[in-house]
Amino acid sequence: MRNRFVRLLLTTLALYLGMVIMLAWLERPIIYPAPPPSDGDWNPSWLTYEDARFASADGTRLHGWFLEHAAPRATILLCHGNGEHVAYLADELQFLRERLAVNVMAFDYRGYGQSEGRPFERGILDDADAARDWLAERTGQPADSIVFFGRSIGGAVAVHLAATGGARGLVLDRTFGSLVDVAAAQMPWIPVRLLMRNRFPAQQWIKHYHGPLLQIHGEADEIVPLATARRLFAAAPSQDKKLIVSPRLGHNSPWPKEYYDELETFIASLAQPSPPEPSADR
């Protein structure tokens, strides 16, 4: 009986270790499930846009779409989620440009859409830096005057941009405090905190950003727990920050109309001139 128990225990342990090794090996495709490059509409005839072609720090060739507004109130760089590319975003980009009266650009991380390479955390952050620099040069404005808008994993990318180079404003849509938090919630039986290489510690990064912040999350989010989003918000040192929580918003649900109203109000507030500083003789 004892020998049978030992064999069962060793078999169970071997199966568990095999599963852990397999998940560690599959980390990249699990985290970055890029859709096929052929998916989506890459030539929307109804959309007026400019192809953006630029290179990341290591020379990886990247691609995005830039939509210009005749009288922009702001310029937005959109960092999308891990299961989409720019060919999925034509309607959203057009809506943002017209509804908010902004310049807006979306770009693909390496390994997504028409961008070359294979995705990994440091490479993606470098890709975002390159997209920000391209957009700043294209619009003739300082990089720290851009509004960064990130969805899910793209929210962590947007936090990195704002924390390292400054921003006019930061919008986070269903973003986590750390990608490790998400993995631990989805697979609590796996020691992901020890194993994960792609970590995206947005909760640590956001401590270096003090500008305006609008954060949106849902209690019904089945991927990113609300608790990790709350920790991200609490870590932000900004004195001008707002967290909106919806009881029904899932991770991939469309925003309700009132959330776009909130976004429009946020962008309008960024477009207002800053109040003059008091003179030294007062």
Q: Is residue 17 part of a domain?
A: no
Nearest to 269 by CA among 206, 212, 215: 212
How crowded is residue 123: how many other Cβ atoms within 10 Å of its Cβ?
A: 18
Q: Is residue 28 part of a domain?
A: no
First to last CA, the chain: 88
Tell me how far apart the alpha carbons of residues 177 and 232 are, in angstroms, rounded to a whole number.
Answer: 5
Exposed e or buried b for every residue in 258-281, given b needs 16+ CB within 10 A?
ebeebbeebbeebbeeeeeeeeee
Enclosing domain of residue 104: 46-271
Low-confidence ranges of the chain (pLDDT < 70): 1, 5-6, 8-26, 272-282
Domain of 196, CATH number, reads 3.40.50.1820
Q: Is residue 6 part of a domain?
A: no
Nearest to 114 by CA among 127, 102, 129, 132: 127
pLDDT of residue 101: 96
Tell me how far apart the alpha carbons of residues 135 and 146 are, in angstroms, rounded to a whole number.
Answer: 9
Tell me how far apart the alpha carbons of residues 136 and 73 are, in angstroms, rounded to a whole number.
Answer: 15
Q: Is residue 77 part of a domain?
A: yes
- The predicted-structure confidence for 87-132, as pLDDT tens digits, reads as follows 999 999 999 999 999 999 999 999 999 999 999 999 999 999 999 9
pLDDT of residue 193: 83
Q: Is residue 16 part of a domain?
A: no
Strand 102-107 and strand 74-79: pairing?
parallel
Q: Is residue 20 part of a domain?
A: no
Q: Is residue 174 part of a domain?
A: yes
Q: Which residues contact 80 (CB under 8 A, 6 or more apart)?
A: 86, 88, 89, 106, 108, 151, 154
pLDDT of residue 280: 41
Q: How many domains does the chain have?
A: 1
Annotate 251-277 with DSSP letters as a single string.
TTPPPPHHHHHHHHHHHHHHHSPPPPP
Half-sphere exposure of 42 (CA within 13 A, CB side): 12
pLDDT of residue 195: 83
Q: Is residue 176 part of a domain?
A: yes
Q: What is the pTM of this model?
A: 0.91
pLDDT of residue 181: 95
Q: Which residues contact 129 (CB under 8 A, 6 or more apart)?
A: 56, 57, 161, 164, 165
The whole-angstrom distance between residue 77's C-alpha and the CA centroid of its chain comes to 10
Distances (CA, A) of 216 to 149, 231, 244: 11, 13, 5
